A and B are shown apart, each in its own frame.
Chain A
Amino acid sequence: MAVKINREKCMRCAGCTAVCPKNALELTDAGLMVDPKLCIECGLCVRACPMSAISLPKKKR
């Protein structure tokens, strides 16, 4: 399980990492990363992202 990250839209503000209850998101040198082992697809980061760069996988929506 994991949210989908659009790295072209992402502006690396790291806002999503502050709302993630599972510490699944991390901003690294290579961009925003999600740990699929930790992500529960709660969607809080989707809501928090100002750039609409994070989305839930389609089938789960």
Chain B
Amino acid sequence: MPDVGNITSKEKEVMILEKYDIVVVGAGPAGTTFAKLVASKGISVAVLEKRQAIGEPVRCGEGLNEWTLQNHKIKERHFVNQKINFGRFYSPNGKYAYMEGKEAKGNIIDRKIFDKHLAILAAKKGAKILTRTRVEGVSKAKTGLVVHAKRLGKKVDYHCTLLIAADGVESRTAKYMGINTTTSPVDITTCAQVELAGIKIDSPDHIDFYFGNEIAPLGYIWVFPKGKDRANVGVGIRANQEGKKAPEYLQEFLKKRGWENAAVVQDSCGLIQVGMPLKGLTRDRFMVIGTAARQVNAVHGGGIADAMDAAAVAADVAIEAFKKNDFSKKFLDQYASRWMKKYGKGLMNLVKIRRAFDHADDDDLNFFVEKFSIDLMENAKQGNFKKVVGALVQRPQILRLARYLI
């Protein structure tokens, strides 16, 4: 039994102790993507998941880029409900912008099947997946960290050389490691969604977004088809507003579409952190990945792709750390710097855009939709704000939003 460091006398009574090279907390897309990659290099890894079923409850619009699946070499598509080829952005005046090409290619997936599939892929490479295992604390030991968990009602300590927090929006593990992950309501979007069945969807390969300060203040409504008679319909609004809550805006939209009596086969709600990504991504022997680190697209609110991308960067650094036998914060910070260069800067630009959008009125939104192009979107993500503003100068009022981009 390794030295268990500073754990208290009560916890010394623990009879069960398991040892892994890496322990991952959370079996979402970030955790299992990471586990698959390190396990394939022969590193022993356990993924601790507090729920009894991976992927449940669903709290997601379930849209995912095709290129993310390809980048992460996921060949199967059995979790795809509907292929998407086009996107439409509706402005408050009812006009819409069309999105097509690579950027629009995507899938509406079933998260219950997708998340479980990622866990299966990890398990096939040798990762251990432990459901109904809830982490209650972390303490330091001489040769690693000890994760205190409750598994099937029994206390279990997991000793690991490296710990990965992939516990999503709750992000408790990072808090145990002394990283403040609390988010202010100004940087939070609350969402409500229903999966409707028995409705009529005219163009199932189109995803639709509806903007407007009356229908979804500081947010948008989405219709993500899951077939020609089924769709996820949801709304996200900023959390720091007085008045109606997300489910009320959703009901209003359903009524407007004549869907208020449609069958609801899945009801979900959730919260998206649309502020800046977490700064402290590492500690000695510790890395935070995915939604737990607020690695989220702040404009559309999606997080699956960003979680998997960050997991891949972190896995590379973890594999190198085991080769060099160096688990210091300094070494692990390569994850933070590589991620920032490859993905983080883009995500931070999106946060700035989102903050500017917060001050847009319906006339601005009409104008944006009229001027929308893939180029404009890419320039914005790259941080070429001069070009973006340049393309929008026909409406001088837009300049008042530009200051939020600085």
Most-contacted residue by chain B among A13, A29, A44, A51 (CB, 10 A): A13
Interface residue B183 (Cβ < 8 Å from any Cβ of A): yes
Within 8 A of B (CB), among A11-61: 11-21, 23, 26-29, 44, 47-52
Contact B270 A15 (CB under 8 A): yes
The B84-124 residues at the A interface (CB cut-off 8 A) are: none
Q: How many residues of B contact A (CB 8 A)?
A: 33
Whether A51 contacts B269 by the Cβ 8 Å rule is yes
A15 surroundings in chain B (CB, below 8 A) = 169, 188, 190, 269-271
A15 to B225, CA, bound (A): 25
Contacts of B191 in A (CB 8 A): 50
Give the number of residues in A that approach B within 8 Å (Cβ atoms). 23
Which A residues form the contact surface with B (CB < 8 A)? Answer: 11-21, 23, 26-29, 44, 47-52
Closest beta carbon of chain A to B345's beta carbon, Å: 24
Question: Which B residues lie at the A interface, using CB under 8 A?
Answer: 50-52, 57, 59, 132, 134, 168-172, 175, 181-185, 188, 190-192, 239-240, 245-247, 267-271, 273
Question: Which residue from B185, B267, B268 sits with its C-beta under 8 Å from A48?
Answer: B185
| 22 CB-based A-B contacts, threshold 8 Å | A11-B267, A11-B268, A12-B57, A13-B268, A13-B270, A14-B170, A15-B169, A17-B169, A18-B171, A18-B181, A18-B188, A19-B184, A19-B271, A29-B50, A47-B239, A48-B185, A49-B190, A50-B192, A50-B247, A50-B269, A51-B245, A52-B245
The answer to whether A20 touches B182 (Cβ under 8 A) is yes
What is the CB-to-nearest-CB distance from A41 to chain B, in angstroms, rounded to a whole number?
16
CB neighbours of B188 from chain A (8 A): 15, 18-19, 48
| Closest B residue to A20 using CB positions | B182
Interface contact A11-B169, CB-CB below 8 Å? no
Nearest opposing residue in chain A for B57, CB measure: A12
B271 touches A50 (CB 8 A): yes
- The listed residue (B175, B185, B192, B246) touching A23 by CB distance below 8 A is B175
Shortest Cβ distance from residue B233 to the other chain A in the assembled complex, whole angstroms: 15
**When A and B form their complex, which 10 residue pairs have the shortest distance between CB atoms, in order from nearest?**
A15-B271, A13-B270, A50-B190, A50-B269, A50-B246, A17-B170, A13-B269, A11-B269, A48-B239, A14-B170
* Chain B residue nearest to A44 in the complex (CB): B185
Given A20-B182, A48-B188, 6 new contacts (CB under 8 A) = A11-B269, A15-B270, A17-B172, A26-B172, A50-B190, A52-B245
Residues of A contacting B132 with CB < 8 Å?
Answer: 29
Are the C-beta atoms of B169 and A14 separated by less than 8 Å? Answer: yes
Taking the closest CB of chain A, its distance from the CB of B64, in whole angstroms, is: 20
CB contacts (< 8 Å) of A13 on chain B: these are 57, 59, 268-271
Q: Please measure, in the bound complex, the distance between the C-alpha atom of A18 and the C-alpha atom of B303, giving whole angstroms.
A: 15
B57 contacts A21, C-beta separation under 8 Å: no
Q: Is the CB of B247 within 8 A of A51?
A: yes
A25, closest chain B residue (CB) = B170
Distance (whole angstroms) from the CB of A14 to the closest CB of chain B: 5
- Which residues of the partner chain B approach A51 to less than 8 Å between Cβ atoms? 245, 247, 269
Name the distance in Å between B187's Cβ and chain A's nearest Cβ. Answer: 10
Bound Cα distance from A28 to B153, whole angstroms: 12
The 8 Å CB contact of A18, one of B57, B269, B271, is B271
A44 CB to closest chain B CB, in angstroms?
Answer: 6
Residue of A nearest to B291 (CB): A18
**Contact partner of B134 among A14, A16, A28, CB < 8 A?**
A28
Given A13-B271, A18-B182, A23-B175, A47 contacting B240 (CB threshold 8 A): yes
Contacts of A28 in B (CB 8 A): 50, 134
Q: With the chains together, A47 CA to B269 CA distance in Å?
A: 14
Instruction: Tell me the bound Cα distance from A13 to B269 in angstroms.
Output: 6
Determine how close the nearest CB of chain A comes to the CB of B122; give it in whole angstroms: 23
Which A residues are CB-close (under 8 A) to B185? Answer: 19, 44, 47-48
Q: How far is the CB of A55 from chain B (nearest CB, A)?
A: 13
Contact B245 A11 (CB under 8 A): no
Give chain B nearest CB distance to A45 CB in angstroms.
Answer: 10
Residues of A within 8 A of B52 (CB): 29
